[in-house]
């Protein structure tokens, strides 16, 4: 494995994390990595918000079907940093769910499929992680949607989600509460 994948910079930038994850996925696809290398790389990358954001945006949106079923090494690595992973995964489910409706309204079936893929991949990771932090955040998100106040109010407002999108998000994350 190239040294670039073994050494994730301590203060990694978002764009650097995207590039490293793209290289990682290329090597993952060609079976160039050991289980330990996979787990160590992902764990090192997701220990910071920028690294985790870059990893998830690349992994979840990749056109490669290798990302459709999360490998156990990736799930194990995410367990090493549950707070960062939980927050980003819950937001990814919310955003991809809302984007499906946005693209449906614009009759963009390709983007509907892309958003549905992100939602499906994220949900699979969440289910395999089975972190209490994710259940708590999902509960807070649903409560915020139902009451109009709460910890996710700024997030929902920032993205400008309408009532239909919010209801769809609540329906999608409710089963993840446990």
Read off the pLDDT of residues 59-106 as tens digits, 9 standing for 90 and up: 999 999 999 999 999 999 999 999 999 999 999 999 999 999 999 999
d(CA 166, CA 176): 16
Q: Residue 50: give the domain boundaries.
A: 1-80
Q: Residue for token digits 């793209």? A: 22
pLDDT-derived band at 10 (thresholds 50, 70, 90) equals confident
Q: pLDDT (tens digit, 9 = 90+) per residue, 31-41?
A: 989 999 999 99
Distance CA 35, CA 44 (A): 14
Average pLDDT, integer, range 116-121? 96
Shared domain for 123 and 89, answered yes or no, is yes
Last residue of a domain, one of 80, 103, 129: 80
Structure token pair of residue 85? 């992973």
**Counted domains in the chain:** 2
Q: How many Å apart are CA 165 and CA 108, to the nearest integer?
A: 16
pLDDT tens-digit series, residues 17-29: 999 999 999 999 9
Which uninterrupted H or E stretch holds 36? helix 35-45
Same domain as 75, residue 97 = no
- Tell whether 44 and 115 lie within a shared domain: no
Q: How far apart (Å, rounded) are the C-alpha atoms in residues 115 and 60?
A: 9
Task: Supply 12's token pair.
Answer: 């990694």
Using an 8 Å Cβ cutoff, are 104 and 68 in contact? no
The whole-number pLDDT of residue 6 equals: 59
Shared domain check, 171 and 131:
yes
Question: At which of 80, 107, 135 does a domain end?
Answer: 80
Q: What are phi and psi of 80, to 5 degrees?
A: -70, -20
Q: Are 64 and 95 part of one and the same domain? A: no
């Amino acid at each position: 494995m190239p040294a670039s994948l073994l050494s994730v910079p301590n203060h990694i930038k978002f764009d650097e994390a995207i590039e490293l994850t793209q290289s990682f996925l290329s090597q993952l696809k060609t079976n160039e990595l050991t289980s330990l290398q996979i787990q160590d790389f992902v764990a090192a990358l997701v220990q910071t918000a920028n690294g985790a954001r870059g990893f998830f945006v690349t992994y979840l949106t990749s056109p490669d079907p290798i990302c459709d079923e999360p490998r156990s090494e990736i799930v194990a690595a995410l367990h090493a940093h549950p707070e960062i992973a939980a927050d980003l995964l819950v937001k990814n489910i919310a955003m991809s769910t809302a984007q499906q409706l946005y693209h449906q309204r614009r009759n963009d079936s390709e983007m509907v499929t892309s958003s549905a893929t992100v939602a499906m991949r994220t949900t699979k990771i969440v289910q395999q992680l089975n972190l209490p932090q994710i259940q708590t955040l999902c509960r807070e998100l649903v409560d915020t949607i139902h009451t109009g106040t709460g910890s996710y109010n700024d997030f929902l407002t920032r993205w400008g989600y309408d009532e239909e999108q919010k209801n769809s998000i609540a329906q999608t994350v409710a089963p993840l509460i446990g």
